[in-house]
Chain A
Amino acid sequence: MADEKRPPRRRRVGAIFWWLVLPLVVGLLLSTLVPRPIVGLIYLDGPIGSLTARSLIAQITYAREHQEIRAVVLVVNSPGGTAVDTESLYMELARLRQAKPVITLVEGMSASGAYYLTSGTDYVIAKPTSEVGSIGVLSSLPPQPTVSEDLVTTGPYKAWGAPPDAVMRQLETIKQGFFQAVKQGRGAALRVESEVLLRGEIWLGTDALRMGLVDELGSQTRAVEKAAQLGRIPQYRVADVRELAGLPFVTEALFFIASPDGKTTPYPREAGLYLLYVPPSERGLP
């Protein structure tokens, strides 16, 4: 009755407000509640060992399973680590890349095993003085097998693992895997001969760019932008995947023996296969 008493013009304006403007304004306000996609940051800081691998695999899995994370930036500052943990991470990253783009930002260093992972991402950004490369494998050889009165085994290598020569050849097999990963990962971008690549040399970011080991020199902001671009997301927010996943911060112990003067030697503390770079400044003779 009240509406009927109102003039038709006012009635029409009221109807427009209540049925069009108000729902639209509310709808627009509500639309801001739609969460922005996330460019997730996964930090690889320090040597790659079982602890860091476990933490990073959890972060990679989280990023893969959560739709709001649309792209991942792997922020690397690592000399590499054990071969098996590096390969674990490499395979997990490959699974993540099937769903989402992963790009690497090299901070201080992406050497050896860390570059194994770096090469397996969609785009690599480094700093001009980042250290990149050290493609190769490292291991200490087991001693020649001996027998003793106190220890009885059922085979000559039960106590020693393998003959020294076999370990040397295993290194070559692992190197082949590493080299293939780099070749497939970098593809046509790679502009360096295998003979140069396999020297195990470490290069500055500027040289690595010329050689095609990285795609661009730039900052973290640029890396995030590139990840968003590859993930085709116009608006995004940046978040640390470890914090999103509620994982604790872990650090890996040093792999190498410290000499009496406190310097790190290039000799592994434990026998094993390593995709690792030991900076010369820290080296000392055993």
Chain B
Amino acid sequence: MRLLRFWIALALLVLPSIARAGWLYGNRYTRLAPPALPEYAGMTASLPLLATPQALKPAEVASKVVVVDVAHKNLFGVSELEALTRALTDLGARLQTVQNAQSLGPALKHADAYVVVAPMTAFTPDEMWQAQHFVNQGGRVLVLTDPTRVPVTGDGLSGPNSLLAPFDLAFSDDYLYNLVENEGNYRNVWLKKFADSPLTAGLSTVAFYAAHSVNTSTGTPLILADERTLSSRTDAGGNLAAAALSADERVLAVGDLTFITAPYYQVADNSRLIAHIAEFLVGGERSHDLADAPFIFTRPVTILPTQNITLTADLVKSLGQLQLALGTANITCTLSSQPAQDSDLIVLGSYAPSRDLLPYLSPLLADFNISLESRTVERKSASISVPGVGNVAKEGTGLILFSRTEERSTLILLANDPDWLSDLVSVLASGLQPECAVQKQAAICNLVKPDSNRGSEVKLPPDQSQPGTSLP
């Protein structure tokens, strides 16, 4: 009996603790399945398909000049364009860089194509005019930008967009991305929609590595993103173009630079696109007018002094300058008393034309609808009469006349004497402007230098009725 009591007492002593422990700890937490972890071992990085670079048909004539702009604080190295420059040289093009804004105009005068990559400074109105003139003359322009090439401060697109504005092309301040289907990263987009153009012939897929979208209302959106490729600016997609061509098909704007650089030019059809871009750049038919002087020739040039021109030391020096200038465009020029075959011509003469100048002047006079009879030489006259312009003082001025026939291009330089002619040749060598008022086939140049006394006495004749030398 006592033993029973003992066990009951012990149970009563212990049971509350057991019960409480059971209550507190009895409901054991059980997980039905272990927490799922990602399959790390099966994860791999996607690698792009590499394509063989496009083989280009070698050029028959190595004569095209492609000017690459490095004058606008461009955020790139020329070596990054290796794939494009290789394609261009395969096509026989010669590359030149423009190091400063002052040399852009002269460079464009003899260029066939102009390449601008990620410029960080805006183009001046003068540069924009030069680019427009270049395009109007048949030159090709390629503008590349890249959202990863941005300045520390300021707007990275004012540069390219200022150049593109006259051609109704503009880069958006965005980048394209695709979170679903991409080339290794959301900002590396596959592009599979192409407008019908020689630039996109045979392309099935290209990869761009962070690209601005390009807007145009009159031009052709050339390379288009699919619906799932979005613009970072709106997080919306649909008809976003990564490259576009101007309405005249002479200006190409591409929103990415990286696709040209190694190793990405090998991905998908990128090398084929680069080859097409190279063909586009050398495919224009560039024409030249007097505003492009002295780069209006495409062949070797013969310099022909007429009988009443004495080759003074100054004139020879100026001719050397002209020779040097034409040399930058790979045009040789030789001094000769007779025009050479298969060459263009620069004729040096005076306002009082010698007999041997007349054969060169005659076609121009016909162009200007002036009879030879009106070509009266009045040696004592202080002015000459230029049709459509009026009277021009002989002293301190020079006249340049330009004609192009199937046979040759001819440039006639006229001044009052060899000294003024020497200055006129110098002006021609330095590109006419701003010293000259240039028209389509004629330019009238001021030859009076501000720091020179020579010519300061020159005055235009007050009396218009005074007869003068009449020239086109």
Residues of A whose CB lies within 8 Å of any CB of B are: 15, 18-20, 22-24, 26-28, 30-34, 36-37, 67, 70-71, 91, 94, 97-101, 120, 165-166, 168-173, 176-177, 180-181, 184-185, 194-195, 198-199, 230-235, 285
B residues in contact with A34, CB < 8 Å: 17, 20-21, 24
Contact A120 B186 (CB under 8 A): no
* Residues of B close to A185: CB separation below 8 A: 35
Residue on A nearest B152 in the bound complex, by CB: A285
Please indicate the chain B residues that have their CB under 8 angstroms from the CB of A22 in the complex. Answer: 9
A93 to B20, CA, bound (A): 30
The interface residues of chain A lying within 8 Å CB-to-CB of B465 are none
Instruction: Known pairs A22-B9, A70-B29, A168-B184; list 15 more (Cβ under 8 Å).
Output: A20-B9, A23-B12, A24-B12, A27-B15, A31-B21, A32-B20, A33-B17, A99-B29, A168-B185, A172-B184, A172-B185, A173-B44, A198-B186, A199-B179, A232-B27
B contacts with A: majority SS = loop
The answer to whether B16 touches A27, judged by C-beta atoms less than 8 angstroms apart, is yes
What is B's interface to A at a CB cutoff of 8 Å? Answer: 5-6, 8-17, 19-21, 23-25, 27-29, 31, 34-40, 43-47, 152-153, 179-180, 184-186, 228, 235, 263-264
Shortest Cβ gap from A138 to chain B (Å): 12
Which one of B15, B184, B264 lies within 8 Å of A169 (CB-CB)? B184
Contact indicator B16/A233 (Cβ below 8 Å)? no
CA distance A26 to B35 in the complex (A): 44
Q: Chain B residues near A231 (CB, 8 Å)?
A: 29
CA A170 to CA B15, docked complex, whole Å: 61
What are 18 of the A-B contact pairs (CB < 8 Å)? Answer: A15-B5, A19-B6, A23-B10, A28-B16, A31-B17, A36-B24, A94-B37, A98-B34, A98-B35, A120-B35, A168-B184, A171-B185, A173-B44, A176-B38, A198-B179, A199-B179, A231-B29, A235-B24
Question: What residues of chain A lie closer than 8 Å to B13, measured between beta carbons?
Answer: 23-24, 26-27, 30
User: Contact at B14–A27, with CB atoms within 8 Å?
Assistant: yes
Chain A nearest Cβ from B177, distance in angstroms = 9
Q: Is the CB of B179 within 8 A of A19?
A: no
A-side contacts of B25, CB under 8 Å: 37, 67, 70, 233
A181 near B179: Cβ-Cβ < 8 Å = no
Chain A residue nearest to B27 (CB atoms) is A232
Q: Are A23 and B9 in contact (CB under 8 A)?
A: yes
| B27/A169 in contact, CB under 8 A | no
Q: Give how many A-B residue pairs fall within 8 Å (CB-CB).
A: 116
Residues on the B chain within 8 Å of A181, using CB: 37-38
Chain A proximity of B222: nearest CB distance (Å): 26
Assess the A165–B263 pair: CB atoms within 8 A: yes
- CB pair B45–A173 under 8 Å, yes or no, is yes
CA distance A28 to B184 in the complex (A): 67
B31 nearest in chain A by CB position: A98
A94 touches B35 (CB 8 A): yes
CA distance A185 to B25 in the complex (A): 27
B12:A31 contact, CB within 8 angstroms: no
Which of A24, A165, A181, A233 gathers most chain B CB within 10 Å? A165
Give the chain B neighbours of A195 by CB distance below 8 A.
Answer: 179-180, 228
List of A residues within 8 angstroms of B184 by Cβ: 165, 168-169, 172
Complex formed: what's the CA distance from A34 to B26 in Å? 13
Give the CA-CA distance A33 to B179 in the complex, in Å.
58
B153 to chain A, nearest CB (A): 8
B364 to chain A, nearest CB (A): 58
Instruction: Provide the residues of chain A in CB contact with B24, threshold 8 Å.
Output: 34, 36-37, 233-235
- Of B5, B21, B46, B47, which one neighbours A19 at CB under 8 angstroms? B5
Residues of the A chain whose Cβ atoms lie less than 8 Å from the Cβ of B228: 195
Chain B residue with minimal CB distance to A144? B262
Q: Check A233 against B21 for contact (C-beta < 8 Å).
A: no
Residues of A within 8 A of B12 (CB): 20, 23-24, 27
Q: Is the CB of A97 within 8 A of B31?
A: yes
Known contacts A172-B185, A194-B179, A195-B180; decide if A230 and B29 are in contact (CB<8 Å): yes
Asked if B47 and A169 make an inter-chain contact with CB atoms under 8 angstroms apart, the answer reads yes
Which residues of B sit under 8 angstroms from A24, Cβ to Cβ?
Answer: 12-13, 16
Chain B nearest CB, measured from A170 CB (Å): 6
Minimum Cβ distance to chain A for residue B349 (Å): 59
From A71, which residue of chain B is reached at the shortest CB distance?
B29
Complex Cα gap A172–B324 (Å): 56
Residues of chain B contacted by A27 (CB below 8 angstroms): 12-17
| Chain B residue at minimum C-beta to C-beta distance from A101 | B29
- With both beta carbons as reference points, the residue of chain B lying nearest to A196 in the complex is identified as B179
> A184 touching B31 by the CB < 8 A rule?
no
Q: Quick check: B35 and A169 within 8 Å, CB to CB?
A: no
CB-based nearest A residue for B16: A31
Partner pick for A234 among B23, B29, B47, B235, CB 8 A cutoff: B23
A20 to B5, CA, bound (A): 8
* Bound-state Cα–Cα, A67 to B26, Å: 12
A233 to chain B, nearest CB (A): 7
Measured between beta carbons, the chain A residues less than 8 angstroms from B17 are: 27, 30-31, 33-34
Name the one of B29, B39, B263 contacting A180, with C-beta atoms under 8 angstroms.
Answer: B39
Chain A contacts for B47, CB-based, 8 A: 169
> Given the complex, which residues of B lie within 8 Å of A172, measured CB to CB?
45-46, 184-185
A170 CA / B11 CA spacing, docked (Å): 65
CB distance from B10 to the nearest CB of A (A): 7
